[in-house]
Amino acid sequence: MMKAAVTKERAEELNRLQLDFHTRRIPVMIVFEGGNGIVINRIVNEIHNCLEPRGVAYHGFDPRIKGPSRPFGFLQGTPVAGGFALHDRSWYSSVVDRYRGGRESLERFVGHCNTFERYLTDNGVFLIKILLDADPGDADGLSAEYCPFICMRDTFLSVDIVDPVKFRATVSDGLFSATDTDCAPWDTVTAGELRRTVDGVAAVIADRLRDRSEGGCPVRPVRMETPYPDPRPSAGSTPPPAAEPEDVYDLLYELQTRLAASDRSLVVGFEGRDAAGKGSAIRHLTRALNPRGYKVVEIKAPTAEERSYTYLRRFAEHMPDAGRITVFDRTWYGRMTVEPIEGLCSEDEYERSASEINAMEKCMTDNGILLVKIWLDVSAEEQLRRFEKRAADELKQWKLTDDDWRNRGKWDEYEARIGRMMTATNTPYAPWTAVPADDKAHARALVLDAIATALRTGLAGDRPAERI
């Protein structure tokens, strides 16, 4: 067992600050980056040992692990309210691993990093970023002091997973200076003698925590922008697909087989009013697929535990790995419809939601996820007919709830939110497919055709640019 390198006084100070943030339910994320994995690992261990372990989540990221769902591991690693999350490497090491030089490439990566961090801080996460500057020429000496024991390569305990020379090159190219923002600044600590370095890092963390206790990072006032067309008015004139239904099922099965052999994945999100036919469409879609390659996720109101994290985190765990499919029965768009109407989010959270969702969907499509967003558009008259039919059918009465009738009474209020949602999120990279849903058979055919078209186009297209 290695002797602790942090002083008792400094450890007690961090412990007191941890208790303060736990009491106030402020989530804290501390990111450790640098070119020397041995240095990072030892420093993270020392800081971890200063804190109450029941309030700390450790996350170690290996940038060599690829896949469309990989960036969403960072979102899953966000801390619970009142908890600390220590990140032994992060999205920055992932950028370093993928960066091949060039101003345009760097700006794209910087944009992704700053957008993600703005999402965290806007949603109450206190973010501390520490850059451990270790000279590659001192690697042998630092290894001897920071890790006197052997670290096996190519195991989950490996720490030499980032090229230190390449890491320094990204520092020189400006990755870290361009992500040194007001609400997510970098603190650089030079790696030298162990005790001095540990104390320096602990002092930085303590100072940042005290500053946050006294002030904090103000949330930006954001007004939702609605620059995109609403696809619903033109949906009523959509002709039926050319392929016969059975042909579409065979085609989807074939396309799933091709998807399974690719580095892409597929997300299908179904939205629509109550009784719009989402369940029926999902049943017919899954009929065409091999169950070994897909899962269906039903999204309900967030639980108390889910509300203790940032809003989008609960969707991250369902993002599919390469070759796989996730079908969402309702999605993250609850933040733009039911939640503001039912008072489940603040007005500021609602106004920010479109830009946050657009950023997440851009991350999905940039990293190889084929995204199909289906809106099933049912009329008020047809919805009432389906409600009455369900109420009279003993086998379907369970599908009809008091909330369904209550929501129907707010039709116009929902219509205003839906229209704004469409015009704020119908982006070129993640457009909505609006499907007229009064005729269920016609709607199902259009849905299956839209998914088949997206798969065929996506699997034939170019691979995404550099992924995060």
Q: What is the DSSP string of 79-130?
A: PPTT-EEEEES-HHHHHHHH----HHHHHHHHHHHHHHHHHHHHTT-EEEEE
User: Is residue 219 domain-resident?
Assistant: no
pLDDT of residue 353: 97
Query: Do 363 and 450 belong together in one domain?
Result: yes
Q: Which two tokens stand for residue 460?
A: 């034939």
Same-domain pairing of 149 and 280: no
Let me know whether 240 and 388 are in one domain: yes
Are 35 and 181 in the same domain? yes
Residue for token pair 């599908």: 399
pTM over 0.85: yes
pLDDT tens digits, residue range 196-240?
999 999 999 999 999 987 776 666 788 999 999 999 998 776 676
CA separation for the pair 210, 4 (Å, rounded): 24
Instruction: Tell whether 188 and 280 lie within a shared domain.
Output: no
Whether residue 229 is contained in a domain is answered as no
- Both structure tokens of 85: 């999350």
Give the sign of the dihedral formed by CA 31, CA 162, CA 320, CA 229: positive
188 and 253 together in one domain: no
| pLDDT, tens digit, 9 for 90 and up, residues 280-330 | 999 999 999 999 999 999 999 899 999 999 999 999 999 999 999 999 999
Q: Are residues 331 and 453 in the same domain?
A: yes
Last residue of a domain, one of 185, 214, 243: 214
Percent of the chain exceeding pLDDT 90 equals 76
Same domain? 159 vs 269: no
Residue 464 pLDDT more than 90? Answer: no
Per the structure, how many domains does the chain have? 2
Residue 77 and residue 173 in one domain: yes
Q: How confident is the model at residue 166 (pLDDT cuts 50, 70, 90)?
A: confident
Is residue 39 in a domain?
yes
59 and 204 together in one domain: yes
Tell whether 226 is covered by a domain: no
Q: Is residue 416 part of a domain?
A: yes
Q: Give a yes or no: residue 90 inside a domain.
A: yes
Domain of 88 in residue numbering reads as: 8-214
Answer yes or no: do 199 and 241 share one domain: no
466 inside domain: no
Instruction: Indicate whether 246 and 204 sit together in one domain.
Output: no
The average pLDDT across 11-23 equals 96
pLDDT at position 63 is: 86
**Structural domain contains residue 320:** yes
Domain end (from 161, 184, 214)? 214
- Give the confidence band of 150 by pLDDT, cuts at 50, 70, 90: low
**What pLDDT, in 10s, does the model give residues 234-284?**
877 667 676 656 789 999 999 999 999 999 999 999 999 999 999 999 999
Q: Nearest 5°: CA angle at 192, between 137 and 184?
A: 100
Which CATH number does the domain housing residue 333 bear? 3.40.50.300
